[in-house]
Chain A
Amino acid sequence: MIVIGPDEVIWILLMSILAGFVGALFGLGGGILIIPFLTLVEGVPVPLAVGASLVSVVATSSSSAATYVKDHLTNIRVGMFLEIGSVAGAITGASVAGYLPASVLFILFGVLLLYTTIVMIRARKVDFPTGTIPDKTSTILSLGGEYEEHSRNVVVKYQVTRTPLTLIITYFGGIVSALLGVGGGLINVPTLNLIAKIPVKVASATSNFMIGVTAAASSSVYLFRGDVNPLLTAPLIIGVTGGAILGTRILKTAPPSKVKIAFAILLAAISVLMILKGFNLPIVL
């Protein structure tokens, strides 16, 4: 049994504000900061950290999705379609959580993060994909769209391609989300941008949109399993909601390439932490 006093609640609240802010900026649920903080700094057991984090992920993504959807930045049709994969993945992940050793998962996840970082840096110039030929599924479901690019003051039209592959990857994104208590944005955003050829801002907003439903599926499993602690969860919900509102306001005006570089640096730093944790090496924080 962990003891949580007013000091811990205040620290969790402050960290949650930061996590919500960063989460909204990069299409992450914020869990990527919350999990290391809860497990490494506060000594919370992994299932409780993941359970509380997943609930906060629902709050962050729903809160920022509300703004993105209103601004027509989200591709709702793409989001709804890919939720078939991500929700199925979330249920799979939440069901097998506990059967796999956490150390293996942290190492695999760290490696995956490093790979994602490299892909993001190398493809940094693919901010406004043009000449994309939609695939069959994309055409049938009319997945293409348009959005207003404020930094250039133009309306950008785009097409969506390689939909089946994107759906399969979002399934695995759902598994990772449910196992590790993160939103899955770190898989969704590069997948939507680099594989489906969706502009990075739309990719980020659409990822946010999907994550709410994905984390709702997995957190309901954790909730009924008894892995959602009220004193961990309440400051997380309040903090991430506030932080996400701030983050969403900034994304609207920041240029896409800067958003991407900052995202890549964040991914690299966290991947090192994840791998160290997996090998049980001491991490000084």
Chain B
Amino acid sequence: MDLNLLISYCLRIGVLASAFLGLAGLISWVATGSINLSAISGSGVGNTIASAFAGNASGLIYLAVAVLVATPVFRVALSTFYFANQRDNRFVLITLVVLSMLIFALVSGISG
């Protein structure tokens, strides 16, 4: 498959899934009339996302944010595999450098 199409679908699916989850979160907020505004922090990530599956407005929106932030990261990972398949070693290296920086940003956020 063409890299352009692969990236295009990846981005579109991620953004739509996130918009859908965000909308579900807002509807849940309107329906229940309240929201737990406690901010997400390192250890709370798992719990918050777990609460999304229980229909919690705040949890649904955080899940939307998580899906959205993961979308470009996934796009970079996808490109690494594509360039590896094309034996374009320079671009495998370039995408791996970008990917490791993105993972560093996530990991340093969780531990900090």
Contact = CB atoms under 8 A, between A and B. Distances in A.
Interface of A: 1, 6, 9, 55, 58-59, 62-63, 65-67, 69-70, 72, 74, 76-77, 80-81, 83-84, 87-88, 90-91, 94, 140-141, 212-213, 215-221, 223-231, 233-235, 237-238, 241
Contact of B8 (A58, A70, A141): A70
A233 B65 contact: yes
Contact of B75 (A81, A88, A94, A213): A213
Contact of A237 (B7, B8, B68): B68
B73 interface: yes
A220 B18 contact: no
Given A63-B15, A226-B41, A228-B39, 16 more contacts: A55-B65, A58-B71, A63-B12, A66-B11, A70-B4, A70-B8, A80-B76, A84-B97, A87-B101, A213-B72, A216-B73, A217-B102, A224-B109, A230-B58, A230-B65, A235-B26
A226 B39 contact: yes
A235 B27 CA distance: 11
A224 B41 contact: yes
29 contacts: A62-B11, A65-B11, A66-B7, A69-B4, A70-B4, A70-B8, A80-B94, A81-B94, A84-B94, A88-B101, A213-B75, A213-B98, A215-B72, A216-B70, A219-B65, A219-B69, A220-B105, A220-B106, A225-B41, A226-B40, A230-B61, A234-B23, A234-B26, A234-B29, A234-B64, A237-B18, A237-B19, A237-B22, A237-B64
Contacts of B39: 226-229
Contacts of B14: 62
A91 B8 contact: no
Given A212-B11, A217-B102, A70 B5 contact: yes
A-side interface mostly? helix
Contacts of B94: 80-81, 84, 141
Nearest to B106: A220
Given A6-B30, A230-B58, A213 B102 contact: yes
Given A84-B97, A84-B98, A91-B104, A234 B72 contact: no
A122 B43 CA distance: 52
Nearest to B82: A76
A67 B15 CA distance: 12
Interface residues of B, number: 57
Contacts of A219: 65, 69
Contacts of A74: 4
A213 B22 contact: no
Nearest to A56: B68
A88 B62 CA distance: 25
Contacts of A216: 69-73, 102
Contacts of B11: 62-63, 65-66, 69, 212
B74 to A, nearest CB: 10
Closest 5 CB pairs of A and B: A226-B39, A224-B109, A230-B61, A66-B11, A70-B8
Contacts of A224: 40-42, 45, 109-110, 112
A139 to B, nearest CB: 12
B54 interface: no
A215 B70 CA distance: 11
A113 B28 CA distance: 40
